[in-house]
Amino acid sequence: MIQHSDVLERSLNDFAIEVPSWGFANTGTRFGKYLQATAASTLEEKFADASQVHIFTGKCPTLALHVEWDVPKGTTISSVLELSARYGIRPGSINPNTFQDQSYKHGSLCNEEAEIRAQALDHIFYSIELAAGLSSRDISLWFADGSNYPGMANIRKRKEWMEEGLRQAHDHLGPQHRMLIEYKPFEPAFYHTDIADWGMSFLHARHAGPQARVLVDTGHHYISQNIEQIVAWLLSEDMLGGFHFNDRRYADDDLTLGSIDPYQIFRIFAEIGHYEWETNTKADIAYMIDQSHNVKNKIEAMIQTVTTAQELYAKAALLDHEALEFHRAHQEIIDAENVYKDAFATDVRPLLQDWRRAHGLPEDPLKAFRASGYLKEVARQRQGRQKESAAYA
């Protein structure tokens, strides 16, 4: 029988999670921004904070960058690469900003004005060129495009404009790139959103070209939606590109992963693991965090998220796939469900401690980080010079 430690070793060695630059900056809600003395204000501070997460967890080697917030036009490639080398963190996915400029009030690629659509496309082109210079593979696209009132927009025409823009963006990709298309059912558009669900994202990706995939944000769904079914369909169609991990109580709350429904994340990992077991293929999925740490300390929340993800991933790795298929084939419903429940109920924390020791990592990453004194030092350095960062979207 395969030992749990052997299974966990194989599964966790390749399980890397990307942290977002904006997760280290001051963020808030529509009602205000909540400032933290240790929040990062500059790109260097974001790289420095990301390096702490990687040092204590060992599995966060890349930092997602937001164009405009992190690398606006005029930023030199060499300056970003110098920070990357200094802090041992590679530039990760590149995230264009097609929602914040005042010109995008009525949309970006779906705007009725051709010059605004061209402006948005030019920004995406720049982001792709930036990705090439930084050796980043994924360009992550999320659009706030939509409308708030019936009659305000020609929905079919906007679909055509989005298709056209995404196709042109795809044609600008290098052979090393992927274009990940995210969806969201509502907010800030409350009547219709131009890319509102996984099916719309899927169709846009298919029409755009072979390097386009779907990006699943775990918070971008209606209450009780079966996200693992979406994951299964996208895996079946070879269209699952990546995840933005978070949790939610009502809608896109951007709470920390697993804080509300850890079993859902486990079920997602289980679906991916069973696909890999059935096909004997490693799924090419970018695992990324997208959370707003308004009241939790940002670095601590990121470490907590990564260790939670590792625990849930490890639990899913312990799923007995052969037993699961046997019970399914014989329509033994309770036994099949118990395969899931037994894996989820397994306390993997001692195994994770063994794995961390074997890789020169602290057994308790959060405790070790707190003991390092990093927060006290950066609070001293940053307090009193906090800058108003870009609003969180």
Indicate the average pLDDT of the chain: 95
pLDDT of residue 1: 36
pLDDT of residue 152: 98
The whole-angstrom separation of Cα 122 and Cα 355 is 46
Q: What does residue 81 show for φ and ψ, rounded to 5 degrees?
A: -65, -30
pLDDT of residue 390: 39
pLDDT of residue 30: 78
pLDDT of residue 347: 96
pLDDT, tens only, 179-199: 999 999 999 999 999 999 999
**What percent of the chain shows pLDDT beyond 90?**
90
pLDDT, tens only, 322-352: 999 999 999 999 999 999 999 999 999 999 9
pLDDT, tens only, 214-227: 999 999 999 999 99
User: CA 191, 195, 196, 197: dihedral to nearest 10 degrees?
Assistant: 170
How does DSSP assign 134-182, residue by residue? TT--EEEE----EESSTTSS-HHHHHHHHHHHHHHHHHT--TT-EEEEE
Q: Which CATH superfamily is domain 4-382 in?
A: Divalent-metal-dependent TIM barrel enzymes (3.20.20.150)
Tell me which of 295 and 387 has the higher pLDDT.
Answer: 295
pLDDT band (50, 70, 90) for residue 73: confident
Q: How far is CA 219 from CA 1, 100, 290, 296, in A?
A: 38, 21, 9, 18
pLDDT of residue 392: 40
